[in-house]
Structure 1
Amino acid sequence: MKKVINILLMAAMAAGTLAGCGGKSSESGNTANADSGSQAEEGQVINIYSFNDELRTRITAVYPEIESTSDDGTVSTLKDGTEIHWIINPNQDGVYQDKLDEALLNQPGAADDDKIDIFAAEIDYIVKYTDADINAAVPLTELGIDPAVDLADQFDFTKTVACDQNGVQRGTTWQACPGVLVYRRDIAKDVFGTDDPAVIGEKTSNWTVMKETAEALKAKGYYTFSSYADTFRLYSNSISETWVEPGSSTVKVDQKLLDWVEDSREWKDTGYFDPAVKGQWNSDWFTAMGSSSKVFAYLFPAWGIDTQLKPNWDGEEGSWAVTKAPLPYNWGGTFVLAAEGTDNKAHVKDILLALTANQDNLTKISKDYSDFTNAKTVMQGAANDESFASDFLGGQNPYVYFTPGADTIKLAPLSAYDQGCVELIQNAFGDYLQDQIDYDKAKTNFETAIKERYPEITEIQWPE
C-alpha cells in the first residue's frame, strides 16, 4: 500500500498536481472551475472506473444527458456526442484497486481520452484515494461544487468520510447504508405468534434479548442467522482504533473483532447458525435465503435487500419484513470521485450533482432501486410516505426503520487497509469457526495473509 501511495505521490509531484491545504484548495478551485467549465474544451470520452454495475445503472437512470447505452453496457452516448466508457473490475482480492492504481499511475502521461475522469471507491478504502498528499481525487470545489451548499442535505458521516486529512471534501455519494434486521414473517408467526415489526423489534433490539430470541427459534428448529459472517459488521463498526494509523506499518486488531470471534464460537456451538453455511458471498449463503431454509434473519442495509436477498428468494412476495438490529451499523457505501487530470470537469460536475445532490433523482433511485439515498429530507419524507412501501416486504415501509438508524451512525475510524483487513480476518477466523484450524493457527494465518497482501506491513498487534 505504501509503495503504491509513494508511486502515486511521485507521479503527482512530477505532474505538478499536488494540492495545498484545505483553504487554498477551496480558494483556487473556483478559478479552476471557471476555466475548465466555461472556457476549456471538454474531452470526447468520459472514463468511469467502478467495481460493479451499480454505478452505471444509477447514473444512466438519472443523468438526463445520456441518450443511449450499448447492448453490452460498456458505452453510453450523451446528447452532445460525448461517450461514457464504463470500465468495471471485480472488487474481490483487491483486483479493482490494482487496476485503478495502475491507471492512476499512468494518468499524467495518458492521452486525454484515455484518462480516468470518475472512479468509484468503497467506504472500506476511500481514505486511500482522498489522501491530500496523493491527490488522486480532485477537491469538489475545483469542480465548482460547494459541499456546504450543494450537498447540505447529505448525512454528515458520508461527507466526513469523503474528506481528506485537511477537511477538504474530495468525493460524494448517492447512498447511505444504515442496516436493519430482515426477518421471515412465516417463521416469526410460528415462533412468536406475530410478524409485527414493532413486536419483533423488541426481541432483536440488543444482544441480550437477541440471545433469548435465538433460543426460542432454536427450540422450534430454526436458525437465527445463516452464519457467523452475518454479524461481523455490527462488531467491526464498533472498533475504537483504526486498523493502521497513518504512516504506520503496524496492523492493530481491535478487541471488538476478537469479541466477534468469541461470540460467534458460542453462537455456532449452541446451534444458532446454520452449520451448512460457510461465510458469505457463496452458494451456501445464497441458498439459505430461499424458502426451504430454516434461517430466520439477515442483517442488511437497503442494498443488501435489493441485490442479495430479493434475487435469491423463491417464495411468495411479502414474506419478509424489517426491524431493529441489535446495534446501529453501517455496511458499505459507494463514493464517486473525480480523478486528478480529468479533461471533463464540466461533465463530471454535472454527473456528480445529478447523482448525489438532485433530490428528485435521489427520490427516483430510492423508489426504483430501494436504495437508502443520501438526502436527509428525502429519507425523512420517505419514512412518512406510504408510496415508499415495499411489495417484497409485505407492504411495509422500510424507511421507517432505516432513517432513524442513519441518524445514529458513528463510523469506526477508517484506514486505507480496511478492505484487506476485513476480508482476511473473516477468512482466517472463518476457518477456525469451521473447525478446520485452531485459534492460534487462525491468528498466524491472518498475520501471514496480511503481510502477503500488504508487504509493507511489518507487525500485527493483538489486544492483550
Structure 2
Amino acid sequence: MKRKNRSWLYTPAALLLASAVALSGCTGGSESAGGGSGETGTNTAAGDSASSAGGGIKGTIKVWDWDEAFLKRMVPEFNKKYPNVKVEYTVVNNTDYMQKLQSGIASGSDVPDVILGEMNYRGQLFDLDILDNLEGAPYNFKRTQLLDYLPSILSNSKGELVGVDQSITPAGLAYRRDLAKQYLGTDDPDALAAAIPDWHTFIEKGKKVQQDSGGKVTMFASFDDAYRVLREQNSKPYVNGTTINLTERLKLPLETVFSMRDAGVLGKYEAYTPGWNASFAKGDNIFYPMAPWSAKWNIAANDKDGIGRWGLIPAPGGSYTYGGTSIGVFKGSKNKEAAWAYINFAYMSDEGMAVSYKEFGNMAGTKEFFEKHKDWIEAGTDYDKYFAGQNLNKTFLEKIVPSVKADPQTKYNAMVQTAYSSLYPLWMKDTSIKVNAALEKLKSEVKNLAPEATIN
C-alpha cells in the first residue's frame, strides 16, 4: 500500500487508529487455527417476529469456515438481527478447503453460499470464476470503502471485487525482548527499530549474535520466515495473462534471504512445524513475522508463559502482508441477499464487529471501521500483555500500516507458492545451492505446474 507518505485513510485523525491483535483462522502457513473437517451445525433464532432491519430477508445459507468458535459465537448474534435467515455451517480445515470446494463444484451438489479464500490459495479460488462481483446487485458494495491496499488482493483477474476482508493483515516483526536486550543492546521498540534500519545491518548484527551466543541464537527461526517478509516487501504485479515474471519479482528477495542463510543468521526450522511452534518459547530466535492475528495464534498459543516477553517493530525495508482471508458469495447461490447480510454483519457492521473485534481480534477492512471506533483501538486488547503493555493497535497503525502493499492474486501466484514450498527446505539446508540455480529450479517447477505459461 505504501506510496511515499500515503495515508491508509484520508483524514489525519485516522493516524490515531490501529490494527488488530488476532486474526482467527488466518495463518500464513498450512495449519488451521481452528476446527477439523466436516463438522456441521445450524442456528436460527426462535420466534416469527423480525427485527425492523433484518426481517425482510429470508432463506437458508451454507457457510464453510475453519473457526468453529467464531461460528458458534457469531451466528446467534447474526440471528438476533436476521431471525428469518437460517445459517447451516460446516467446519472445514483450511488445508482441505479448496479440495472440498472443487469436489462440490464438480458434483454440483455441495457448494456454500459464503466462501472463504485463505491467502495461500486465494488466486486459485478467484480464477475459478465462481464468486459474485460485490460491486454489482444485490450487494452494491464499493471498493472505495476498503483500505487502499485491499482491492488488489480482493479482485479477480477481470478486475471484479469478489471478496471483503475477514481482517486486515499488515505485518511487522515480533521479537523476544529478553534476547534483544542481551544480544542487540535494547528491548525498546523504537530504539531497536532504529538500530536495524535495513537488511544489511540486520545481517551484520545477526553475525554478532551468532558469535556472542556461541551459535545458539539466530535472528529468524526459518528461511521461510525471512522469505515471506522480503517477498511481500517487494510486492508488485508479476503475472500478466499467462506470463509470469519470476526473475523481476523474486530475484532480489531471494538474494537477500540467501545472504542471510550464508551468514548463518537463520534458524533451521521449517515454518509451521512443531519445532517452529516450540521455538517461540524456547528462545533460540529473536524475530518472527507478525501480523495482527499472530499475537493470538503464534505468540500466545506457543509461548503461554510469555507475558511481557515480546515486542513489535516494523520490518527493515517496509511493511508487508502476512496471511489473510477473503469472504465472498457463490455466484450460484439462491440466497445472495441473505449471504451478503451475513458477510456484512459478521465482518463489517458495528454489531458484528463488537463481537468480531473485541472477542476475536478481527479488524474490518473498511475505512469506516477505523473512523468510527477510535475508542476501541485506543483501549488495546488483552494480547498487549504479552508485549509488555505495548499497544499493538497503535504500533500496527502508526508504524506498519502506512507502507503496506500487496500483490494481485491469480492461480499462478498460488502455483508459485506451491513450487517454492516444495523447494525451500532444501535451499535452507544445502548451502551449495546458490540463488541463481535456485531461481532457475523454481522456474522449472512453476513451468511443470503451468505448462501453458511463459516463465521469465
Instruction: Give the TM-score, by structure 2 length.
Output: 0.75
CA offset at residue 183 of structure 1? 0.7
CA distance in 2, matches of 1:382, 1:49: 32
1:63-142 correspondence runs (5 A): 63-65=75-77, 80=84, 82-91=86-95, 95-107=96-108, 110=109, 114-130=110-126, 135-142=129-136
Asked if 1:334 is matched to 2:325, the reply is yes
Partner of 2:280: 289
CA offset at residue 206 of structure 1? 2.5
| Contact 1:153/1:375 (8 A) holds in 2 | yes
Partner of 2:260: 267
CA offset at residue 352 of structure 1? 0.7
Partner of 1:351: 342
CA offset at residue 175 of structure 1? 1.0
3-state SS of paired residue (1:84): strand
1:181/1:41 CA distance change after superposition, 3 Å: closer
What 5-or-longer segments of structure 2 have no aligned partner? 1-53
CA offset at residue 137 of structure 1? 1.0
- Given the alignment, which residue of 234, 246, 250 partners 1:253? 246
CA distance in 2, matches of 1:66, 1:386: 25
CA deviation profile, 1:9-55 (whole Å, cap 9, x unmatched): xxxxxxxxxxxxxxxxxxxxxxxxxxxx9989624xx32234xx23x
CA offset at residue 348 of structure 1? 0.6
1:40/1:273 CA distance change after superposition, 3 Å: closer
1:413/1:455 CA distance change after superposition, 3 Å: closer
CA distance in 2, matches of 1:64, 1:365: 13
Asked if 1:163 is matched to 2:164, the reply is no
Partner of 2:23: none
| Contact 1:224/1:272 (8 A) holds in 2 | yes
Higher alpha-carbon deviation: 417-426 or 391-400? 417-426
Pairs aligned (count):
393
| Contact 1:183/1:321 (8 A) holds in 2 | yes
CA offset at residue 448 of structure 1? 5.2
1:316/1:98 CA distance change after superposition, 3 Å: closer
CA distance in 1, matches of 2:240, 2:144: 30
1:88/1:437 CA distance change after superposition, 3 Å: farther
3-state SS of paired residue (1:273): coil
| Contact 2:180/2:187 (8 A) holds in 1 | yes
CA deviation profile, 1:351-388 (whole Å, cap 9, x unmatched): 11112221353354333233444244544726961343
| Contact 1:136/1:339 (8 A) holds in 2 | yes
Partner of 1:228: 223
What 5-or-longer segments of structure 1 have no aligned partner? 1-36, 69-77
3-state SS of paired residue (1:136): coil
Higher alpha-carbon deviation: 263-272 or 163-172? 163-172
Partner of 1:397: 391
Partner of 1:27: none
CA deviation profile, 1:65-110 (whole Å, cap 9, x unmatched): 5679xxxxxxxxx95583413151443xxx5323322322344xx4
CA deviation profile, 1:218-253 (whole Å, cap 9, x unmatched): 34313111121111123322456645422x2x5431
1:284/1:256 CA distance change after superposition, 3 Å: farther
Partner of 2:289: 299
Moved over 6 A (4+): 37-41
Asked if 1:172 is matched to 2:164, the reply is yes
CA distance in 2, matches of 1:325, 1:374: 22
CA distance in 1, matches of 2:433, 2:263: 18
1:456/1:359 CA distance change after superposition, 3 Å: farther
3-state SS of paired residue (2:172): strand
3-state SS of paired residue (1:139): coil
Larger Rg: 1
- Given the alignment, which residue of 52, 59, 63 partners 1:42? 59
Which structure has more relative contact order (CA 8 Å, sep 6+)? It is: 2
Q: Report the identity percentage.
A: 18
| Contact 1:363/1:378 (8 A) holds in 2 | no
CA distance in 1, matches of 2:239, 2:158: 19
3-state SS of paired residue (1:391): helix
1:177/1:144 CA distance change after superposition, 3 Å: same
1:81/1:253 CA distance change after superposition, 3 Å: closer
